[in-house]
Structure 1
Amino acid sequence: MFYYVSKIAWFFTTPSNLLLSLILLGLVLSLFKRLRRLGIALSLAFTLATIALGLLPVASYILLPLEERFAPFRDDGRSVDGIILLGGAVEAADSKARGSLVANESAERVLDTTQLAHRYPNARILISGGGGTVFGDGAAEAPIIADYFKSIGIDPARILVEDRSRTTAENGVYSKELARPAEGERWLLVTSAWHMPRAVGVFEKVGFPVTPYPVDFRTGGGSRVHGPFAFISEGLRRLDIGAKEWAGLIAYYASGRTTRLFPGPQVSADGSASR
């Protein structure tokens, strides 16, 4: 039930959808003589808001704390027993239709996992990503990525396919069931930097210790974060991503799917932050 409620609710509250809905509401109200001035004012106000939110770096400010929560991974020489790749980088239905891997704007998840697979040739590779839509089951992403990895020479015996999960919470639950991590094993978790806090929180909740490997950054470093967007659609797209992730953090914490509102690096007894 949580899955369906969250998907339907988010469709209507996604910033770009909500802004458009409010503009249309204003236009409808303007058709009535008594409400014409209110309707025009409403449409104008939210049209300007759409332009401002699309061009100004508001989305970058929303995404930046998420992306900087975990530092980029640095190889410290320790062995790696497994690599977990969370789905979200491949358009599964399009890939099946085309008979070829169709990646989206989060393709770095797959690219970096490929690199890690060669850097740590003894590590298992767990791909977590099922299908599922509000109105039925969609194509599962994990098997498609697994086939791609096999096609580029990665040993099939290293690959674990988790194709049941539809949400980040299910990623954690089903990944642990499949991996059965032993005490002391080191598993890297590969997902988008803006998604990493919630993902780490979920894996903490299910008792699966992971080392974050954030990729797919949407904000630039330094003063670049303050720069405007060249296209309104670009700013709104990133605004949707950031708003959804903050909403997800709140919803997961409130529903008990994570134990911390804003999961971050764990601090050890000696005061050092663990990855």
Structure 2
Amino acid sequence: MFYYVSKVVWFFATPSNLLISLILLGLILALFKRLRNAGIALALVFSLATLALGLLPIASYILLPLEERFPPFRDDGRPVHGIILLGGAVEASDSVSRGSIVANESAERVLDTILLAHRYPDARILISGGGGTVFGDGAAEAPIIADYFKAIGIDPARILVEDRSRTTAENATYSRELATPREDERWLLVTSAWHMPRAVGVFAKAGFAVTPYPVDFRTAGGTRTHRPFAFVSEGLRRLDIATKEWAGLIAYYATGRTSRLLPGPQAPEGGSANR
């Protein structure tokens, strides 16, 4: 139920959808003589808000604390026993339709996992990502990525496929069941930097201690964070991602899926985030 409610609510609450809806509402109200001034004012205000949120670096400021919560991974020489790749980088239905893997803007998740697979040839590779939509089951992402890894020469015996999960919380629960990690094992968790706090929180809650390997950074950091966007669509896209992730953190904390609102490097749920 949580999955379906979250998807429906977020469709209407997504900033880009909400802004356009409010502009349209203003235009509709303007058709009525008694509400014309209010409608025009509403449409004008949210039209300006759309431009401001799309062009100004507001979205970058919202996303930056998430992306800088965990530092980039540095190889310290300690053995790596496993690599966990969270889904979200491949369009599963499009891949099935085209008969070829179709990656999206989070493709670094897959690319860096390939790099890690070669860097740590003895590590197992767990790919976590199921299917499902609000209106029914969809193609699962994990098997598609697994087939791609096998096609480029990664030993199939190293690959574990978790294709039941639809949420980050399920990623953690089902991954732990499949991997059955020992306390002395070190597993790298590969996901987008902006998604890493929530991911680490739920993995720790599930009793699966992981070492964060953040990728897919959307902000540049430093003074470049203050740069405006060249296109309104760029700023709105980043705003959608940032607000969705913060909403996810709040929802997961409120429902007990994480023990901290903003999990960090010293996550207390079930163990340390860095081992």
Which category of TM-score, normalised to the shorter sequence, fits these structures?
over 0.9
Q: Distance in 1 between matches of 2:221 and 2:47?
A: 30
Q: Distance in 1 between matches of 2:183 and 2:12?
A: 43
Aligned to 1:124: 124
Report how far residue 274 of structure 1 moved. 3.9
* 8 Å contact from structure 2 (residues 72, 213) kept in 1: yes
Report how far residue 221 of structure 1 moved. 2.2
Aligned to 1:105: 105
Q: Distance in 1 between matches of 2:190 and 2:274?
A: 16
Q: Distance in 1 between matches of 2:73 and 2:156?
A: 26
Identity within the alignment, % = 83
Aligned to 1:59: 59
2:158 maps to a residue whose letter is R
Q: Distance in 2 between matches of 1:168 and 1:30?
A: 43
Equivalences for residues 252-271 of structure 1 within 5 A: 252-266=252-266
1:37 maps to a residue whose letter is N
Aligned to 1:162: 162
Aligned to 1:197: 197
3-state SS of the aligned residue for 2:161? strand
Q: What is the RMSD computed on CA atoms of the aligned residues?
A: 1.2
Q: Distance in 2 between matches of 1:90 and 1:150?
A: 16
Aligned to 1:94: 94
* 8 Å contact from structure 2 (residues 83, 188) kept in 1: yes
Q: Comparing 259-268 with 33-42, which one deviates more in the overlay?
A: 259-268
5+ long unaligned stretches in structure 2: none
Report how far residue 3 of structure 1 moved. 0.3
C-alpha deviations, 1:236-269, integer Å up to 9, x for none? 000000000000000000000001110000179x
C-alpha deviations, 1:87-116, integer Å up to 9, x for none? 000000010111111000000000000000
C-alpha deviations, 1:158-177, integer Å up to 9, x for none? 00000000000100000000
Change in CA separation of 1:267 and 1:175 when aligned onto 2, cut-off 3 Å? closer
Aligned to 2:245: 245
Report how far residue 183 of structure 1 moved. 1.3
Q: Comparing 14-23 with 259-268, which one deviates more in the overlay?
A: 259-268
Q: Which runs of 4+ in 1 moved over 2 A?
A: 272-275
* 8 Å contact from structure 2 (residues 200, 273) kept in 1: no
* 8 Å contact from structure 2 (residues 209, 273) kept in 1: no
Could you state the TM-score of these two structures normalised by the residue count of structure 1?
A: 0.97
Aligned to 1:234: 234
Could you state the TM-score of these two structures normalised by the residue count of structure 2?
A: 0.97
Report how far residue 273 of structure 1 moved. 8.9
1:188 aligns with 2:183: no
Aligned to 1:137: 137
Paired residues, number: 272
Aligned to 1:114: 114
5+ long unaligned stretches in structure 1: none
Report how far residue 57 of structure 1 moved. 0.1
